[in-house]
Structure 1
Amino acid sequence: MNTLRPAFRSSLARTALAAALAATLLGACAPVLIGGAAVGGAMMASDRRTSGAQVDDQSIELKAGRRISEAIGDRGHINVTSFNRQVLLSGEVPSEADKSAVEQAVARIENVRNVVNELAVMPNSSLGTRSNDALITSKLKATYVDSRDLFANAYKVVTERGVVYLMGRVTEREATRGANLARNVSGVQKVVTLFEIISEDELAQVRVITAPPPAASGPK
């Protein structure tokens, strides 16, 4: 499900609006939800993935929705999140056979390099649980924005039944800091890190690549 995060002055305002949006949208969600954000110029410029990886991730998520529907129909509640071609499957399915079928369907999609299957075999989560998960995600994203020592856009956050999954291309320091902040958010039951660890040197190179171009000077 796509989520837009406007820039607000207070984390409280961000959290309240995001939670209200999530509660409104959840009631209309299809059985298979995709987790990618719209790929625009500003998003690409601030993302540590290459532009090619970002496009691939969106394509993977869209194709996954179709493949999963073909594999198990409308059984279950499944979230698909692709980051740098690694796919996280979260949510609920009614049987182990469905869980395996979903993983196999997604693994066959072009450019998928790895599938992390976190699907639970159980009844679908309630609307209340999903609303609470959306609130946890919003609070954690606001926490990252308010943390002056972190780059908030480096983290992709997925919450399922109180379990927070963290994805992103981050350094060891950022990974530890991000996970610790997540554990301190109220309502979080567990934190699962699926980070791609990069070195400080690699981070410096990424910053150079993604830095916005200098503004054109006006006529003198």
Structure 2
Amino acid sequence: MMKRRLFVLLFAATAAASLSACLPLMAGGVAAGTLVATDRRTSGTYVEDQGIQVKALHQSERFTGAHINITSYNRAVLITGEAQDAAQSADIEMMVRGIPNVQRVYNHLVIAPAATLAQRNNDTWITTKVRTRLLDGKGYPPQAVKVVTERGVVYLLGMVTAAEGSAVANVASTTPGVQQVVTLFETISASPAPASN
């Protein structure tokens, strides 16, 4: 009887551990599905943007000494970070332009040594503060905007109306620690319903 109870408890613990490993995956899938459902990009474009980023980051590994960040939104790619020289910056841009589905490239690499860990942590903190303030959603849909920070400069991408873009830029520019705001919005004429495909 004791062996049977021990077996049942062991089985239950193993099953619980297996199920708990599935829960973050299921929750992550639901969260990703919700983001796609509220995004102004089509689901196909959303997937293409993810693919562009993965391909670009994989290919950027060959550029030694550079610190490269790739962000894609509606097939417009923002390149930030540091390159060793102008030639390397141009090569990185050409690499990104050669990736399928890329329609526009914004090369904002600076010629400088790679950012320190402290600088990168500060940029992450600034991005978090801007995103948190954008959750208020006063005059714009927060899920329609992507925020990237590099060396204290905040880059904003998204599909927004002119009024929404101004409201978002104002929030970013008044966030403590932000040194400059660069808007790379795709301006639309009206606020569309979230796209499904």
Fold-level match, TM-score > 0.5?
A: yes
Identity %: 43
How far has the Cα of 1:208 moved from its partner?
Answer: 6.2
Stretch deviating more after TM superposition (177-186 or 140-149): 140-149
Alignment correspondent of 1:207: 193
Sort the Cα spacing of 1:146 and 1:137 in 2 relative to 1 into closer, same or farther, 3 A: same
SS at structure 1 position matched to 2:135? helix
Q: For residue 97 of structure 1, what is the amino acid of its counterpart?
A: A
8 Å CA contact 2:38–2:194 kept in 1: the answer is: no
Summarize the alignment of residues 67-216 of structure 1 with structure 2, pairs less than 5 Å apart. 67-70=59-62, 72=63, 74-200=64-190, 203=191, 206-207=192-193, 209=195
Q: What's the offset of the Cα at 1:147?
A: 3.8
* RMSD of aligned Cα (Å): 1.8
TM-score w.r.t. the length of structure 1 is: 0.72
CA distance in 2, matches of 1:85, 1:188: 26
* 2:43 match: 51
Q: Quote how far apart the aligned CAs of 1:93 are.
A: 1.1
User: Runs (4+) of structure 1 moved beyond 6 Å?
Assistant: none
Gap regions ≥5 residues in structure 1: 1-36, 211-220
Contact 2:81 2:110 in 1 (8 A): yes
Larger Rg: 2
Three-state SS of the structure 2 residue aligned to 1:128 is helix
Q: Please identify, of 95-104 and 39-48, the stretch whose mean Cα deviation from structure 2 is larger.
A: 39-48
Please, which moves more after superposition, 159-168 or 125-134?
125-134
1:41-85 CA distances to partner (integer Å, 9 max, x unpaired)? 211101000111101101101110122224x2x321110000000
The letter for the 1-side match of 2:188 is I
Decide whether the 8 Å contact of 2:165 with 2:185 is kept in 1: yes
- TM-score by length of structure 2 reads 0.81
Gaps in structure 2 of 5+ consecutive residues = 1-27
